[in-house]
Amino acid sequence: MEPAPAQNRRFSRRSLLAAGGAAAVGVAAAPLLHEAIGGRASVFIARNQRYDGNLVKTIRDGLLATGIVPAALRGKRVLLKPNLVEPSRQIPHMTTHPAVIVAAAEVFREWGALVQVGEAPGHVRDTEMALDESGVAEALHDGGLTFADLNYEQVGWRRNRGKRSKLAGFFFPRSVLAADYVVSMPKLKTHHWVGVTCSMKNFYGVLPGIKYGWPKNVLHHNGIPQTVVDINASLPRTLAIVDAIDCMEGDGPILGSCKPMGLILVGNCLPAVDATAARVMGLEPSRIEYLAMASPALGPLAEARIEQRGETWQSVASPFQILNEPHLQQLRATPDGPLVT
Amino acid sequence: MSWQAEILTELAARSPGGYEAAGPLASEPTALAALALAGAGRFAAAARCADWLQELQHRDGSLGVMAGQPAPQWPTSLAILAWHQLDRAADASDYSKPIACATKWALDSRGTTTERKQQIGHDTALVGWSWAADTHSWLEPTAFFVLALKAVGQGEHPRTREAMRLLFDRLLPNGGCNYGNTIVLGQPLLPHIQPTGIAMWALGGEEVQDHRIGLSLDYLEQQLSERTATASLCYGLLGLSANCRRPREAESWLEAAYRREQQRGPSCYKLALIALAATPRVARITNDELLTTGR
């Protein structure tokens, strides 16, 4: 575990919002920007969150606290990308809750953005079924939001800017290419192959199944950690809003148990958001292969380089159960973390 | 005009077509449209689709997913099925050359294999068809190629037989299937309606003693209802119909799905699926064809 930095002291919400506004840097995950600002990032954590609570305020506060300038969003196309990998009414803690999606949409709309929700479910070809089972269809209807089925849209090719895998480029759906900002809205979960799935891994779901398959086996064959980094490096500007209210532990990302955490995480640097999420889960970010590969080019992992806004990760940390498998055990921040068979 | 006639007229007007009402023309929706229209005797509209597919065919016999996207080529199976259905229904052999060329490509194309791993439940050494080149075999593309190859008289080809073994291997212990994983790290995964329907369609008429077939059909019967999402409903009904277990409510469920799609702005894809599932004769023709050529 890295030593706790001075930045992890608690601040009041008011002072953090002021600091966020004063230090506003717009929104970016571009490698150059991270280098220019010395590889620092800020991540916001809100606790005691509920799906029937004031999520609009929480998300607005989080975006402001991590340096988002509302005026910069006016007239911009914002694509919200939830995780609807394999929705099931019996396992609501598998997928992003509709209330979080609708709340995020409201915030961006307030700021004058043109908001769309899009997803390319990775395990199901029937997207209508995915929307029904997740409850997102009803929420989109009620919220007057349009949905882009990223699995079947017209595609365009973009060069692989990450270059961790041998893939020369990616086919992205039209809605992704047209977006000014792509917002990763994952559910915080353990993942039985890579340890954690959060904002970076969630972007597997921007690639179209019609080109990459169900599952997106082209990516698996080119290395999951490598392609997670490459996709993130090749997208337009990105943000993260994490549904960590009811999370998944154990045999994630599909069949794990519900772990209520009551958290929302927000940030404009996805490796930093995911590193913070991993710490909350009791995992060591530098041992998560795709995070280690992403940093420093896409953002920092080290605590000393991540400014905590809102709550500190230490104050909300609660180790997640992970499967008793060697490749997962080694990810634990402490060797006595909980295991599940 | 009955709703069945109405949907065929609307489908004919929107074909060739795509996955979305305003989306790009795509091979899968167009092949399904050809299949449905040919089965319903709308030969001119079906031929328009079949010709469009032929224009898309590459010299090696394969077809890409949409115009301007030559890869991946998994819809080649559906094009074979569509061309064959049109020739058969019209008692012609207009598409024999593209069928032969595509069939050769299909038999040369194979999903990758790996050594069996303890962490993975399915037999990773079995060869079927993949979604994209140089990747593993998965359930839906394998089932579509099985349907196509059986239809064109290649039901006894070793590739087809191995692919059918793969489909059985990918059935979940308690019936049903998903995209093609069964057990991961000791945990059985969840079944989904659409792939279960497609697998049951492809395996219809096979004489096998495997209790998971009955369980899979039970699963479909339990899951399908008027509220089931359109693609899942249609593939589920095709799977049940191919195994002589078409529910009595099928027509009313399909009409409800059609009305929903009309409100959304129907795509060629959804209309084709509804029309295909709404014409038991089409499923039976395909199945009869499988019965006569598949053993």
Q: Do B130 and A213 touch (CB under 8 A)?
A: yes
For chain A, the average pLDDT equals 90
From A205, A335, A190, A206, select the one nearest A277 (Cα to Cα): A190
What pLDDT is attached to residue A33?
52
Burial class (CB in 10 A: 0-12, 13-18, 19+), B65: buried
Q: Which residues of B touch A325 (CB under 8 A)?
A: 185
For A122, name the nearest residue in chain B, comparing CA atoms only: B179
Identity of the residue in B74, B192, B227 whose CB atom sits nearest the CB atom of A124: B192
Tell me the C-alpha distance between A123 and A54, whole Å: 32
pTM, 2 dp: 0.92
Q: Above 80 in pLDDT, residue A293?
A: yes
Distance between CA atoms of residues B202 and B200, nearest Å: 5
* Contact across the interface for A126 and B232, Cβ inside 8 Å: yes
Determine the pLDDT at residue B209.
86
What's the residue count for chain B?
295
Beta strand A339-340 with A77-82 is unpaired
Read off the tokens for A337: 């973390």
- Chain B contact for A88, CB < 8 A? yes
- The larger pLDDT score, comparing residue B89 to residue A110, is at A110
How many angstroms separate the CA atoms of A68 and A72, rounded?
Answer: 8
**Under an 8 A CB cutoff, do A211 and B132 touch?**
yes
Cβ <8 Å between B24 and A209:
no
Residues of chain B with pLDDT under 70: 280-295
Q: What is the 3-state secondary structure (H, E, C) of chain A?
A: CCCCCHHHCCCCHHHHHHHHHHCCCCCCCCHHHHHHCCCCEEEEEECCCCCCCCHHHHHHHHHHHCCCCHHHHCCCEEEEEECCCCCCCCCHHHCCCHHHHHHHHHHHHHCCCEEEEEECCCCCCCHHHHHHHHCHHHHHHHHCCCEEECCCCCEEEEECCCCCCCCCEEEEEHHHHHCCEEEEECEEEEECCCEEECCCHHHHHHCCHHHHCCCCHHHHHCCHHHHHHHHHHHCCEEEEEEEEEEEEECCCCCCCEEEEEEEEEEECCHHHHHHHHHHHHCECHHHCHHHHHHCCCCCCCCHHHEEEEECCHHHHCCCCCEECCHHHHCCECCCCCCEEC
Alpha-carbon separation of residue B34 from A126, B15, B27 (angstroms): 21, 8, 10
> Average pLDDT for residues A102-123, to the nearest whole number?
98
Tell me which residue in B136, B140, B178 faces A217 most closely, judged by beta carbons: B136
Span A235-279, pLDDT tens digits: 999 999 999 999 999 999 999 999 999 999 999 999 999 999 999
pLDDT at res. B117: 87
- Find residue B85's DSSP bridge partners: none
pLDDT for position B282? 64
Q: Using the Cα atoms of residue B34, residue B39, residue B45 and residue B50 in order, give the sign of their dihedral.
A: positive
B23 reaches A (C-beta below 8 A)? yes
Query: Which chain A residue shows the shortest CA-CA distance from B230?
Result: A128
- Minimal Cβ distance to A214: which of B23, B131, B193: B131
**Is residue B57 classed as helix, strand or coil in its secondary structure?**
coil
The predicted pLDDT at position B281 comes to 66
Rounded distance between C-alpha atoms, residue B254 and residue B264, angstroms: 15
Contacts of B257 in chain A (CB under 8 A): none
| pLDDT of res. A31 | 44
Q: What is the pLDDT of residue A8?
A: 32
Closest CA to A126 of A82, A172, A175, A86: A86
- 8 Å CB contact of B69 and A155: yes
A217 in reach of chain B (CB within 8 A): yes
Contact call for residues B65 and B30 (beta carbons, < 8 A): no
A141 and chain B in contact, CB less than 8 A:
no
The residues that bridge with A117 in the sheet, in sequence order, are A80, A147
Q: Pick from A203, A180, A26, A24: which is nearest to A113 by CA?
A: A180
| Residue of chain B whose Cα is closest to the Cα of A131 | B229
Cβ–Cβ below 8 Å for A214 and B134: no
Nearest residue in A to B129, CA atom:
A213
Instruction: Calculate ∠ Cα A129-B167-B38, nearest 5°.
Output: 65
In this structure, are residues B269 and B230 in contact, taking their beta carbons and an 8 Å threshold?
Answer: no
Q: Do B185 and A251 touch (CB under 8 A)?
A: yes
**pLDDT band at residue A39 under the 50/70/90 scheme:** confident
Establish if A325 touches chain B: CB-CB under 8 angstroms: yes
- Helix and strand numbers (H, E) in chain B are 13, 2
Residues of A in contact with B24 (CB under 8 A): 154
End-to-end CA separation in angstroms for chain B = 40
Band of the pLDDT at A335, cuts 50, 70, 90? confident
Q: Which of B19, B69, B122, B135 to mutate to test the interface with A (most CBs of A within 10 A)?
A: B135
* The amino acid at A170: F
**Tens of pLDDT, residues A135-194:** 999 999 999 999 999 999 999 999 999 999 999 999 999 999 999 999 999 999 999 999
Do residue A125 and residue B194 have CB atoms under 8 angstroms apart? yes
- Beta-carbon separation of A221 and B187 below 8 A: no
Asked if the peptide bond before residue A31 counts as cis, ω within 30 degrees of 0, the response is no
Tell me the shortest Cα–Cα distance from B28 to chain A, in angstroms.
Answer: 10
Measured in angstroms, the CA of B91 and the nearest CA of chain A are apart by 33
Contact A214 B187 (CB under 8 A): no
* Shortest CA distance from A137: residue in chain B: B229
- Report the DSSP pairing between strands A195-197 and A306-310: unpaired
Scanning B46-85 for CB atoms below 8 A from A yields 65-66, 69, 71-72, 74
Residue B25: the pLDDT is 97
Q: What CA–CA distance (Å, rounded) separates B175 from B193? A: 11
Across the interface, whether the CB atoms of A129 and B140 are under 8 A apart is answered no
Contact B138 A86 (CB under 8 A): no
Mean pLDDT on A30-34: 48
